[in-house]
Amino acid sequence: MHNKFLLILFLALLACEEGPQKNRAYVPSSNGRINTVSVVMPKSDWNGALGKSVRDQIGAIYEGLPIDEPQFTFKYLNPKVFTDFTRHSRNILWFQKDTASRFSLAQNQFAKPQIVVNIVGEDAEVQDFYLKENAALIVKTLQDNEHKEKLRRIRKDRTNEKVLSKTFGIQLEYPSAYKTFKEAQNFVWIQKPIQKGHLNLAVYSLPLNAMKGKVNERILSIRDSIGKLHIPGRLPNTHMSNEEAYLPYFYKTKLKGQTTYLTKGMWDVAGDYMAGPFVNYTLLDQANKRWLVIEGFAFAPSVSKREYMFELNTIIRSLRFVNKKN
């Protein structure tokens, strides 16, 4: 309950921040790579139990990747140098020692946009308690902040393609570097080339009875069918399918208020040296009497894949219905 109250209060503060800008003090623009968090604490604490707790609690693995990568990259700062430009980081986790222990979230304290997580305690043990007590709230707040920032950057060079609105009555916000790669009946494949491969979005719809039975099994089975039908490999008679050696993550969640099954796993192409992570959102679109599937998958051998999957997730989360029924 305490965490829920803090989240509601923080969201209310965010709403206030988004109001008229009149009479507000100027704050500089924040900086930093996507998913990077500045951590401010004494060096002894960073190298000790408190630093380990930050890495374990806030830097847990990004789910659904072939090799474990933390969901955030940490940039350590000694309190002595935490002044001026170093305070302009977009995400700050600030530990301070004081007899009046407290936990707080602040928006745009030193720069904009910015989230400052402030944890105050008389020693590292008390600070660690507040960290663990609020870890889920901290992670969600930072993730939401980074999705907003990523979407802001995408909008600087947003595509003008209309294929998704014409075919499915939806819009996704993605950069102009993504182009429609394949368009078939009830199926659209959009692709962006990267240095060592490509990022992909696949969108298709299914009838309402498609998910009868065990939903998790149906999603994987349908993925295999769609891969065989629409997503070939580089060699003849090969196609994308589920990588059975990796156990997928399954969640029931909401996307744009609709019941949604979220699956994170690995794909491969049998008979070819192609594989990578995927994220699949299967959404119950009752207004249009269908299941809408939006999937992102990456082919990026020998490089980190966290940022690629984060980009695809951000694009999918930008979903908007443009037909009258929704």
What pLDDT shows up at residue 324? Answer: 54
97 shares its domain with 110: yes
271 confidence band (pLDDT: 50, 70, 90): confident
Structural domain ending residue among the three candidates 138, 154, 170: 154
The residue with greater pLDDT, 27 or 266, is 266
Structure token pair of residue 67: 């090799």
33: containing domain: 2-154
224 confidence band (pLDDT: 50, 70, 90): very high
Using one digit for the tens of pLDDT, what is the confidence trace for 92-147? Answer: 999 999 999 999 999 999 999 999 999 999 999 999 999 999 999 999 999 999 99
- The answer to whether position 78 is within a domain reads yes
Structural domain ending residue among the three candidates 108, 127, 154: 154
Global pTM reads 0.90
240 confidence band (pLDDT: 50, 70, 90): very high
122 shares its domain with 223: no
Query: What average pLDDT does range 152-166 have in this prediction?
Result: 96
pLDDT above 90 (res 73):
yes
| CATH for 71 | 3.30.379
What domain count does the chain have? 2
144 shares its domain with 164: no
Query: How far is CA 286 from its chain centroid?
Result: 25
Q: Report the C-alpha gap between 74 and 59 in whole angstroms.
A: 8
| CATH for 193 | 3.40.1000.10
pLDDT above 50 (res 291):
yes
pLDDT above 90 (res 4):
no
C-beta of residue 312 within 8 angstroms of C-beta of residue 34: no
pLDDT above 70 (res 173):
yes
- The answer to whether position 184 is within a domain reads yes
Structure token pair of residue 308: 């690629």
38 shares its domain with 104: yes
Q: What is the CA radius of gyration of the chain?
A: 22
Structure token pair of residue 161: 């393609």
Q: Is 228 left (phi over 0), alpha (psi -120 to 50) or beta?
A: alpha
Average model confidence (pLDDT) for the chain?
92
Looking at beta carbons, which pairs linking 301-307 to residues 24 or more positions away fall under 8 Å? 301/196, 301/197, 301/273, 301/276, 302/196, 303/195, 303/196, 304/69, 305/65, 305/66, 305/69, 305/276, 305/277, 306/35, 306/62, 306/65, 306/69, 306/71, 307/34, 307/35
Q: Report the C-alpha gap between 159 and 284 in whole angstroms.
A: 26
33 shares its domain with 128: yes
- The answer to whether position 326 is within a domain reads no
C-beta of residue 97 within 8 angstroms of C-beta of residue 120: yes
92 shares its domain with 187: no
- The answer to whether position 200 is within a domain reads yes
Pairing state between β 170-171 and 115-121: unpaired
What pLDDT shows up at residue 311? Answer: 98
Structural domain ending residue among the three candidates 122, 154, 186: 154
22 confidence band (pLDDT: 50, 70, 90): very low
